[in-house]
Amino acid sequence: MRNLTPASITDAFAEYAKNAPSARTRSLLVSLAGHLHGFVRDNQVTQAEWNAAIDALTKAKDFTDDKRNEYILFSDLLGVSSLVDMVNAATTGTPSSVLGPFHIEGAPELANGGDLWRGQVGEPLVVSGSVKDDKGAPAKGTVLALWQNGGNGLYSQQDKTVSATNYHARLTVADDGSFAFSTVRPVSYTVPDDGPAGDMLRALGREAWRPAHLHMIVHAPGHKPVITEFFPEDDKYLDRDAVFGVRGPLVLPFHKVSDRAALPKNLAVLDKLPLPVWTARIDFTLPTA
């Protein structure tokens, strides 16, 4: 096309791509180009603004390595990661949420009733609950992948004083679908904001805080894994999560319990937990298969 105009460039892009080997790839990239073109046209983006965008992407390379990815962080802070999660989510059962950067493969097994607290800094928390299918039947054989930060706000990957698998575990639920474990109460924390994604947050007048949460992947037989996270309802960042991960049904009451007899009987450290402890109940419903 020799006579490109702002109005014709997306059609030209689509025409240039007419020989794309995959119809889906062509459709995706034509749509992406069209949305980017719309962004430039709608805003009459200046050369200086385009330069700032290129600079941010270029600077992001200096904040990206095998432990951190600034491009994912941009996607998270723009709500893109959360939206990709939502459009792929099941429409029934407990909602999914974003994976985040701290999941690890090969986490240690934790017996049902087991302990992640281990006397570490922070407020003790007892989590108990169940995994059931959409008809209320227990999802026997379900494995829960669990991970969270510690009472100091750090994930094990960020804390050189703890083992790489601290607060990471895999727990198989009981035959009746029930589970329990002790841990510390996770705390709200900031995503890394020392790079260009942090610059974007500041330009938006936003903060880097995420509300506290317990990550979970529910591996139930006969179902695709469900990636999700659960939030205490008293967290002050619920309504401004930096990465848009909060979903209403994932917000849980956390209760303070001073009566040891009210705690699950199968806790390995039932007698050792200093009272009062926080308790949370997670009753997970699987999506319709």
Binding-site size for its own copies (CB under 8 A) equals 74
CA dihedral 218, 242, 89, 105 (to 10 degrees): -30
Interface pick for its own copies out of 105, 175, 194, 239 (rule CB under 8 A): 239
Distance CA 70, CA 232 (A): 27
Q: Which is nearer to its own copies, 61 or 118 (CB)?
A: 61
Cα distances (Å, whole numbers) of residue 58 to 74, 103, 162, 179, 211: 13, 27, 33, 46, 30
Least distance in angstroms from the C-beta of 103 to its own copies = 13
Interface pick for its own copies out of 104, 111, 137, 204 (rule CB under 8 A): 204
Q: Which is nearer to its own copies, 91 or 258 (CB)?
A: 91
Distance CA 137, CA 6 (A): 58
Interface pick for its own copies out of 154, 162, 251, 257 (rule CB under 8 A): 251
Q: Which is nearer to its own copies, 185 or 247 (CB)?
A: 247
75 binds its own copies (CB under 8 A): yes
Q: Which is nearer to its own copies, 131 or 242 (CB)?
A: 242
Structure-token match 């985040």, residue found:
100
User: Residue 51 burial (CB < 10 Å; 0-12/13-18/19+)?
Assistant: exposed
CA angle 195, 166, 172 (to 5 degrees): 120
Interface pick for its own copies out of 13, 155, 181, 189 (rule CB under 8 A): 13
Distance CA 269, CA 125 (A): 12
Interface pick for its own copies out of 104, 203, 275, 289 (rule CB under 8 A): 203
Provide the 3-class DSSP secondary structure of residue 255.
strand
Interface pick for its own copies out of 21, 106, 136, 222 (rule CB under 8 A): 21
Least distance in angstroms from the C-beta of 2 to its own copies = 5
| Site pattern 120..159 for its own copies (x: CB under 8 A) | ----------------------------------------
Contact 281, 252 (CB under 8 A): yes
Least distance in angstroms from the C-beta of 190 to its own copies = 15
Looking at residue 75, its amino acid is S
Listed residue (123, 118, 172) closest to 146, CA to CA: 172
234 binds its own copies (CB under 8 A): no
Provide the 3-class DSSP secondary structure of residue 117.
coil
Taking contact as CB under 8 A, which single stretch among the options 22-30, 116-124, 160-168, 268-276 is the one that binds its own copies? Answer: 22-30
Taking contact as CB under 8 A, which single stretch among the options 58-66, 111-119, 144-152, 163-171 is the one that binds its own copies? Answer: 58-66
Q: Which is nearer to its own copies, 113 or 186 (CB)?
A: 186
161 binds its own copies (CB under 8 A): no
Q: Where do the H-state alpha helices sit in 60-192?
A: 70-77, 80-88
Interface pick for its own copies out of 90, 154, 200, 270 (rule CB under 8 A): 200
Looking at residue 99, its amino acid is L
**Residues 83 to 122: which contact its own copies by CB under 8 A?**
83-88
Distance CA 158, CA 175 (A): 36
